Chains A and B, each alone.
Chain A
Amino acid sequence: MVEKISFTMNGKPVTVETDPEMMVLDVIRELLNLTGTKHGCDNSTCGTCTIVVNGKAIKSCNLPLKKIAGAEVLTIEGLAKGTQLHPVQKAISESGAIQCGFCTPGIVMELYGLLEEKPDASQAELENALNKHLCRCTGYEPIRDGALMAQKLIQERK
């Protein structure tokens, strides 16, 4: 069964013609060739496939395509404006939060989803958001540092 499904990807309208049950992660990576969003596990555990749909961070590996019809979708490729990084990207790239980098896109999108909507997110909200992501490299301390730095940059921007 093939359907035409339209949505906005990183600000541009797109239409794909495929199985509406196909997972958004596969649509993004295999049909749209946006490989910044990663495939780490197969069951919504590691969080590296996180994208932002209508402003909310969500894991894309168990999200069927039909659920994003008409939605505004943002992936890691959509955050920087040219060489100007989004504050979350700037903070995460400077705090030591990156080692192998494989969990990074998901964590950046998670923080983007949270902090763009709630620049004053509480510590508990930050913890709950970041607890959806596995990182095997950093021991998480530099990710927390990066999240707090990102929050500060976003608060100061407004």
Chain B
Amino acid sequence: MTGYDSVTQPESVLERPQVSPPEPWAFPDAQRSQLANGLGVVSYDIPGQYVISVCLAVPMPLDREPRDREGIATIMARTLDEGTARHTAEEFAELLERKGIALGAGVSDAGLVVTLDVSKRHLGEALDLLSQAVREPAFPANEVSRHIKTRLAEIDQERAVPGQRAAIEFSATYFDPGERASRPTAGAKATVSVITPQDLVDFHAANVVPAGATVVIAGDLSDLDVVSEIEQALGSWNGVAAEVVEAHEAARALDATRVVFLDRPGSVQTEFYVGCPGPDHSVHGGWAPYQVLGFVVGGSPNARVDAVLREDKGYTYGIRSGFRPRRRGGMFLTSGSVRADSTVEALGLLLDILDKAREGFTQEETMAGVDFIGRTAPGRFATADAVAEEAAALSLEGLTTEFTTANLQALLDVDADALAAAYDRYVNGEWTVVVVGDAGLYAEGVRALNRGEVTVLPA
């Protein structure tokens, strides 16, 4: 191939190319139906996606857990496939692996999501196994006790990892102690260790039911009758739905505006976890400005936080900010770690940046955020798993991916004024701050910042 004759010498500079407007794109179309048992079925045909992703989302607010059995939803999720009416745990694992099926389950504040990834030709067998796990788990005593021990070991691991330790303490400090949200989703040692197989049987029967649940299937669905496949696997699933209680916004603790410094002597870095209230997806004025704010404040190396703490000061590998919606209400969170000896200065700078953002944003940074969120959507939602996960998560909030589409449309109208109004609506300088680091060296300096009462606790 020959070169271009506009190039007259090797060192000549080609003009910087202009970016042309993006091609039209729409979130994949959904086909929706409902089975007689109340299970919603949503499918997305995405040609070329040869691994099919299935997500079963069962609304199950975490505060349905008995106070003395917190973590039971997580243990249930982890033991659904550890023995069923028809198969032992080992047989079941083998049935999954022989067909290359990845089956997983997890819980959030809004519910249970069971995920399945499988190549197209094994979809039928995979749905049958998903159905058995969801409908007929046996919760064998030895498997339950094993998963409890694993969770207890995991609790120790979480306490040892600075970022996870900070997140746990943040919830405990931020939320009112009466709220389920103030305590770890997967439970504490005292509540997990007493969970029995019968507890799991009862919790499962009361909560894992088809009415109100949604199964999402995404991938290359050509030549598949999706509804019939789902009907065959899950059509005879029955159960009495638990009483529907309107979700409430978890209350913030009365003394949440303060600094908790967890002492981790010898730490070569200090972890920060900083937050204040934020909205959920139903916020008046729309969710789009909050997505943009996350990007502008702390979503890239050039965002406001890292422009200073990373690119100017070199104190951090990266600190991220974002609005995190919950089922009702939400939070604006910023987290990351800095070099230990920069702890005091870095925390002061970080809080100053977050506070100063209340003065507003430039149109240029607003447009950069709008274009980043909007123009990355085709790539972010190009794969079967991303589409299925988005639809499943939204279904737990009573929303569909029509929300995703409408939000991308609304994004186009976000300007600097909208950003300022959105930020000002939630951010008022009343920060809950958790610091994990060497308190002996840095707690006094943090106190001297006068950013709230400082409590030092052992990590």
| Mutual binders A and B | no
Q: Which residues in B have some Cβ–Cβ distance to A below 8 Å? A: none
Q: Which residues in A have some Cβ–Cβ distance to B below 8 Å? A: none
